[in-house]
Amino acid sequence: MSASAVGLLGLAALLVLVIIRVPVAFAMFVVGYFGIAALNGFNAANSTLASEAFTLASSPELVVIPLFILMGNVASATGMSRQLYDAAYAIIGQVRGGLASATVIGCGGFAALSGSSVASALTMGKVALSEMDRFEYDPRLSTGVVAAGGTLGILIPPSTGFVIYAILTEQSIGRLFLAGVLPGLLLLGIFILTITGICWWRPAMGPAGPRTSAREKLGAMLGAGPIIMIIMLTIGGIYGGIFSPVEAAAVGAGFVIALGFVTSKLSLPALWAAAKDSIVTTATVMLILIAAHIINPFLALSHIPQFVGSAIEALDLPVLGILALILAIYLVLGCFLEGFAMMVLTLPIFFPIVNQLGIDPIWFGVLVVLTLEMGLISPPVGINVFIVKSVARNVPLGTIFRGIVPFWFAMLVTLIILVLFPQIVLILPDTMIG
């Protein structure tokens, strides 16, 4: 049996394992290990398993993952996410659809703390859904806003998605964080425009909230001031060259914990619970990354990337056409695969093609992460939709999926804009890092 045939058989086995709900990391371990053994023998498979696991687990760059996750978990435990939401609500809640727009802004702020889309959707769902229900928002709008707004967690830095992309493709985490700022703000703005359009078209979907006085607005802003300062310190420190991403994560986590204790909003049991949750999440991410570094050598040995590259070259498409084809494949896969799993499975195949075509890897990384975001709200997997369903138990799943449709198209518009105008992605990393 040829190497390519073994590779295709391995990919088919991987697909079957994922379909029958074997955890993605273990599925990749099995296929990668036995695939290498079939092509190069069990000694090579054992060596790869030992060396890749140790090398990746001892990588200092990965410290950024547990620290930013801890920062987000502590911020959630201390109610800092509600302070961000309250500040946004005080400013724009009195306009039609204002609560929904405040939710999106709150999601963006929390994304700058947690780096996790699931955490953003879950936290803001608990905070905002009850408020929108109290003011008789249409469930399609309220749940759709939370599910879509939560996706900002994977694009607005610090982003776990960017960290994983950087590790898999050997790119700069700092440059990727910088590259995600303007696209994240652009997507947030387009979400708000989408909400405004929905409420203009059907005013009953997003009634205006009560007016707040200037004093109440000021009080809400002051309440969110400390957490806004921490966001500015950590993210601004990276952009200003004061901190590396790892140092910024440590500073941010330290300040959030200190703020929690100073304000008496964080207890030792709550810190312990946040730390345990961070460990579980980090272990999950690490397993996926280690598994990816085991299946990647198998794919290289089987020449699958070269096979796919030759097939795409045979289509004789221009560079932009090939890029559009790759992104279209990501959009389709996002309907069935979890985002990070999709990234670790496809990048070893597509990234060599991207390099060969001369496509900027930082620009491509932002486009990939944005398509992963779209997968988070795409049926039938749509993990953010199920997260929102766990909070809004009385809202049918079909209603939530209908609610995310306009936001999915808003993300598609953002993706098209970023493809046509790559300078939106590249201007900050090129001018601030070079």
CA dihedral 238, 241, 246, 249 (to 10 degrees): -40
Written as one letter, the residue type at 417 is I
C-alpha distances (whole Å) from 27 to each of 11, 22, 78, 242, 294 are: 10, 6, 37, 41, 11
What global pTM score does this model have?
A: 0.80
Residue 427: band (very low, low, confident or very high) from pLDDT cuts 50, 70, 90: very high
pLDDT at 112: 73
pLDDT tens-digit map of 22-40 = 877 788 888 888 988 988 8
Residue 433: band (very low, low, confident or very high) from pLDDT cuts 50, 70, 90: low
* Percentage with pLDDT > 90 across the chain: 18
Residues in the chain: 434
pLDDT at 424: 95
Q: At how many degrees (to 10) do helices 42-57 and 268-302 cross? A: 140
Q: At how many degrees (to 10) do helices 397-420 and 173-201 cross? A: 120
More confident residue, 31 or 334: 31
Mean pLDDT of 138-161: 86
pLDDT tens-digit map of 59-75 = 777 787 788 888 878 88
pLDDT at 243: 79
Give every CB contact of residue 206 below 8 A, 6+ residues apart in sequence. Answer: 96, 97, 98, 99, 100, 137, 138, 141, 195, 198, 199
pLDDT at 406: 94
pLDDT at 425: 94
Written as one letter, the residue type at 70 is L
pLDDT at 434: 55
pLDDT tens-digit map of 153-199 = 778 887 888 888 988 888 988 899 889 989 999 999 999 999 999 99
206 and 199 Cβ atoms separated by less than 8 Å: yes
Residue 41 has pLDDT above 60, yes or no: yes
Integer Cα distance of 165 and 362 in angstroms: 10
Dihedral sign for Cα atoms in the order 295, 298, 300, 304 = negative
Q: What is the largest CA-CA distance in the chain?
A: 75
226 and 84 Cβ atoms separated by less than 8 Å: no
199 and 97 Cβ atoms separated by less than 8 Å: yes
Integer Cα distance of 86 and 106 in angstroms: 8
pLDDT at 346: 83
Mean pLDDT, rounded, of the chain: 84
pLDDT tens-digit map of 205-258 = 888 777 778 888 888 888 878 878 887 887 778 777 787 778 888 888 898 899
Count CA within 13 A, CB hemisphere, residue 80: 33
* Percentage with pLDDT > 70 across the chain: 98
For 223, other C-beta atoms within 10 Å of its C-beta total 18
pLDDT at 217: 80
Residue 272 has pLDDT above 90, yes or no: yes
Residue 58 has pLDDT above 70, yes or no: yes
260 and 74 Cβ atoms separated by less than 8 Å: yes
Residue 381 has pLDDT above 70, yes or no: no
Integer Cα distance of 150 and 388 in angstroms: 10
- Assigned token pair, 4: 């390519």
